[in-house]
Amino acid sequence: MVCGVNYQFWKVRMKIFVESIDKGIWDAIKNSPFVPMLENDKVISKKPWSQWTEHESKKAQYDCVAKNIITSALSFDEFFRVSQCESAKEMWGTLEVTHEGTNDVKRARKHALIQEYEMFRMQKGETIVEVQKRFTHIVNHLMSLGKMFEKEELNIKIFKCLDRSWQPTAISESKDLTSMTTASLFGKFREHELEMNRLNVQESEDKHVRNNALKATEQKNYQETQ
């Protein structure tokens, strides 16, 4: 169900869900409902429902299906925001303005997010998974506001945001920035991080074993001298 805090998530999921059913339904949401028209002596008017072809009926029905899908995925309060809308496009637009604001508000948010993107850096003690979560959140919000990114641009940005300890690894993973997805790149860093953690645990355990062995030897030597 959509609410203010999860609207962006809801919006993306709804688009994927609607398109998986029929792209014609999504077209009705974005480009208004299809209305069969009739031309008679160069005068264009709405075609009587009784004269609709099977194909026209199917296309016109997309708007009804879209309205049903949207309203079924809304909370009680959100439903009443759009209950008087006449088309799925109007419903979608009402929800966008409610949760994203007007075009001026969107532009302001976009500029703020661009600045946040440009200033993005890995924080001290942060894991790769945490970096990926924050980075993806910013990028996805920017893309929803119309900002486009090339794969290479995003990958280079990821390299630049990592702290110094990751630089040797970053260089080794920078062979094909144009085709590698950010998910694949973060996946490679995650593999490296897991391996480093495994080695750190192993080194800690080995050190603990050596310390215990040393203590046992020292205790034995002490006992022998008594």
Q: What would the pLDDT profile of 146-189 be if each residue is shown by its tens digit? A: 889 998 899 889 988 888 777 666 555 556 777 788 888 888 88
**The two structure tokens encoding residue 143:** 């893309």
What CA–CA distance (Å, rounded) separates 155 from 132? Answer: 12
Mean pLDDT to the nearest integer, 207-212: 65
Lowest mean pLDDT among 87-96, 108-117, 171-180, 194-203: 171-180
Q: What is the pTM of this model?
A: 0.61
Average pLDDT, the chain: 84
Q: What would the pLDDT profile of 3-47 be if each residue is shown by its tens digit? A: 556 888 888 899 999 999 999 999 999 999 998 888 777 788 888
| Residue 43 CB coordination number (10 Å) | 7
What CA–CA distance (Å, rounded) separates 210 from 10? Answer: 55
Q: Give residue limits of the domains in the chain.
A: 4-100, 104-212
Lowest mean pLDDT among 92-101, 169-178, 196-205: 169-178
Residue 166 is predicted with a pLDDT of: 73
Residue 23 is predicted with a pLDDT of: 94
